[in-house]
Amino acid sequence: QAQKDTPRPKLKIRDRRIIAMMPISMAISMMVAVTQQTSAFYFQDILGLDAAGTARATGAALMMMAGATLFVQTAIVQRLRLAPPVLIYGGLVLAVAAYTVLTMAASFWMLTTGLVMVGIAFGMANPGISAAISLSVTPNEQGSAAGLNASMSATGFMIGSLVGPGG
């Protein structure tokens, strides 16, 4: 009964405690969306594959990318308990390195290494930004902050879908 009587906090996206982190959250999701949605075209161009070969190669590489994200989030982030800024900045620096590898790649394994690096970067940066946002507000505002973060992440995927393959 007490929960019904307690007004829910109204956290705004413009709240000074979280506003600087919202574009980062969106950018992280854009990075992954653009990578996922353009990788098949890139694999086909770099490796000279037909449609079936492209599907096989890209599917395998994206599976490894997703596995890297899962591994980092469950085995590394959970155990090391790194501070949010370490996760965010580490993930973003690794993303730059990953895209450097992708731009220089000329083989399936180099392309896959770049995508695995993107997966690790996302696996670090995404929980880092979520934690930073959560820790920036009071405990009773954390649900609202998590909702705003999820909205920015979804917005990043939407924008990434527009600027990636279609942009």
Rounded CA-CA distance 67/14 in Å is 35
The whole model's pTM is what? 0.88
Express each pLDDT in 127-159 by its tens digit.
999 999 999 999 999 999 999 999 999 999 999
CA distances from 30 to 100, 124, 156 (A): 17, 15, 4
When the pLDDT of each residue in the chain is averaged and rounded to a whole number, the result is 92
Residue 1 pLDDT greater than 60, yes or no: no
Rounded CA-CA distance 15/31 in Å is 25
Average pLDDT over residues 29-53: 94
Express each pLDDT in 50-68 by its tens digit.
999 999 999 999 999 999 9
Residue 167 pLDDT greater than 60, yes or no: no
